[in-house]
Amino acid sequence: MTARLGARSKHVATLSLTRASITFPFRTGSPDLMTLHASILARLSLIEGFPSWRQTLGDPALQPRLREYRTWEPSATLPSTPTRHERAPGAHGPVPVRIYQPPPSAPQSPRPALVWVHGGGWVSGDLDSTEADWTAREVCVRADAVVVSVDYRLAVGGVAYPVPHDDVVAAVRWVRDSSAVLGIDPDRITVGGASAGANLAAGAVLRLRDDDGWLPVALVLAYSVMHPALPALSAELAEALAKLPRMVQVLAEDVTVMTANYLGDAADPHGYAMPADGVLGGLCPTLLLDAEYDGLRASSEAFAAALAKARVPVRHVTVPGLLHGFLSLPASLEPVDHGLAVLAETVVHARPSRAACGVLPGADDERPARDEESE
């Protein structure tokens, strides 16, 4: 199937969606926590009885057990890549970024790029968090790509929308405009993020489409939050999540508190803060990557359906056995490794074309644009 981006300016890529014949079985039957990855299941006792994630972060007495739960040894094969720090000019001051370069021994022709935005509910995370640093290193080496990780301002201490959003927009613009210096192919820039970072990535792409008439070659959204209020969970997902400790559940009440804190008193007429409320037509091909045991799947699934309705090429992959935030875990866990492979594959193979649509690996031409898979 094909879809065409509206021609807005010379910056807008015309892309064609190709779909590979890769399929994966869905899990069926009643939910069973024994399908959680064994390494995760073994840790759940550490957080039994903990309150919500935000309440846990604010309770000093819980921090030792929380640190033990969240501390993983990096994969023995965690790539060591050259990095350097730069600052992108932004509306609220410079935006720090960390640039990951493939090893010097690799060929030096212009490379694909990923602009990566970490999560953390808009209130936590930085360039050193594992979701930022480990993911950037893995994609840099797997895709032989330049990865630029963004240290946007968090929604704390009176900061709220549009400040984090503006920071991400500024960082993406800087990468695009600095492509020659960075050794990047300007037609092969992917923008992506995880959780709240996925929200920021999608909002930035909507803004750049409207303000600059420009789109990246692809958008990658891992376990994303796209709605100000969480859509209803399926009965099966709700039953599975109810068996988990409260701290790792992402419930409607959590999303409401997080998004209200991020939005503050600002209006969002264009959907740049909450992309599910935006105009989605004409977006670039999009990969949605979800965890099996994650309440935010409801937001991601609804967003995937909205993209398909807007005739945006979309691939939706659900990785089994994992919880929300799995890109913070080492690649030595097989399903994490597979999720990283899907992400890197998209960065490598998404590219502009003279044909009508765009290249996004993952399904068959005869399937509908929404190709939902379980890896």
Please, which pLDDT band fits residue 275 given cuts at 50, 70 and 90? very high
Burial of 224 (0-12, 13-18, 19+ CB in 10 A): buried
Tell whether the model's pLDDT for residue 369 goes beyond 80: no
Cα gap 285→282, rounded to integer Å: 9
Instruction: Give the CATH architecture of domain 33-68+78-374.
Output: 3-Layer(aba) Sandwich (3.40)
The whole-angstrom separation of Cα 164 and Cα 262 is 9
| 3-class secondary structure, 2 | coil
Assess whether 37 carries a catalytic annotation. no
Calculate mean pLDDT across residues 166-183.
Answer: 97
| pLDDT on residue 353 | 60
Output the pLDDT for position 8. 30
Burial of 207 (0-12, 13-18, 19+ CB in 10 A): buried
Give the pair of three-digit tokens for residue 9: 């300016």
What is the Rg, in whole angstroms, of the alpha carbon atoms belonging to the chain? 19
- Continuous H helices in the chain: 38-41, 53-57, 63-70, 130-142, 163-177, 179-182, 196-212, 235-242, 252-263, 297-309, 334-349
Determine phi and psi for 35, rounding to 5 degrees: -85, -5
Residue 168: what pLDDT?
98
Q: Is pLDDT above 90 for 18?
A: no
pLDDT band for position 360 (cuts 50, 70, 90): low
What is the mean pLDDT of the segment spanning 130-143?
97
List the one residue out of 136, 241, 249 whose CA is nearest residue 194: 136
| DSSP assignments along 131-168, one per residue | HHHHHHHHHHHHTT-EEEEE-PPPS-TT--TTHHHHHH
Backbone angles phi, psi at 148, to 5 degrees: -115, 110
Asked if 52 is an active-site residue, the reply is no
Domain boundaries in the chain?
33-68+78-374
Token pair in block for residue 57: 């972060």
- Banded model confidence at residue 65, pLDDT cuts 50, 70, 90: very high
- pLDDT for the residue numbered 362: 59
Marked catalytic residue, from 294, 316, 349, 371: 294
Q: What is the pLDDT of residue 137?
A: 97
CA distances from 290 to 255, 258, 304, 343 (A): 16, 19, 11, 11
> Is 261 or 2 the better-scoring residue by pLDDT?
261
Q: Please pick, among 324, 328, 349, 371, the residue that the annotation labels catalytic.
A: 324
pLDDT at res. 352:
85
User: In this predicted model, which residue has the larger pLDDT, 35 or 199?
Assistant: 199
User: Can you give the pLDDT at residue 357?
Assistant: 44
Q: What is the 3-state secondary structure (H, E, C) of 314-334?
A: EEEEEEEEEECCHHHCCCCCH
Q: Model confidence at 75, in pLDDT bands (50, 70, 90)? A: confident
Q: Does the pLDDT of residue 230 top 60, yes or no?
A: yes
Give the model's confidence band at 106: pLDDT under 50 very low, under 70 low, under 90 confident, else very high.
Answer: low
pLDDT tens-digit map of 311-348: 999 999 999 999 999 999 999 999 999 999 999 999 99
Residue bearing tokens 């007429």:
269
Distances (CA, A) of 132 to 129, 156, 170, 176, 290: 5, 19, 18, 20, 17
Give the residues across from 357 on adjacent strands: 15
Q: Residue 152's pLDDT band (boundaries 50, 70, 90)?
A: very high
Query: How many beta carbons lie within 10 A of that of residue 345, not counting itself?
Result: 18
What's the pTM value of the predicted model, to 2 decimals? 0.87
Higher pLDDT, 19 or 353: 353
> Is the CA virtual torsion 284, 285, 290, 296 positive or negative?
positive
pLDDT at 76: 77
At 74 the pLDDT is: 85
Q: Is the pLDDT of residue 19 over 50?
A: no
Nearest to 273 by CA among 199, 338, 213: 199
What distance in Å separates the CA atoms of residue 349 and residue 309, rounded to the nearest whole number? 24
Please say if the pLDDT value at position 153 is more than 50: yes
Catalytic residue, chosen from 16, 149, 179, 195, is 195
For residue 27, the model assigns a pLDDT of 37
Residue in the structure block whose two tokens are 């990246």: 216
- Is 290 among the residues known to form the active site? no
85, β-bridge pairs? 98
Mean pLDDT, the chain, integer: 86
Low-confidence winner among 13-17, 189-193, 290-294 (lowest mean pLDDT): 13-17
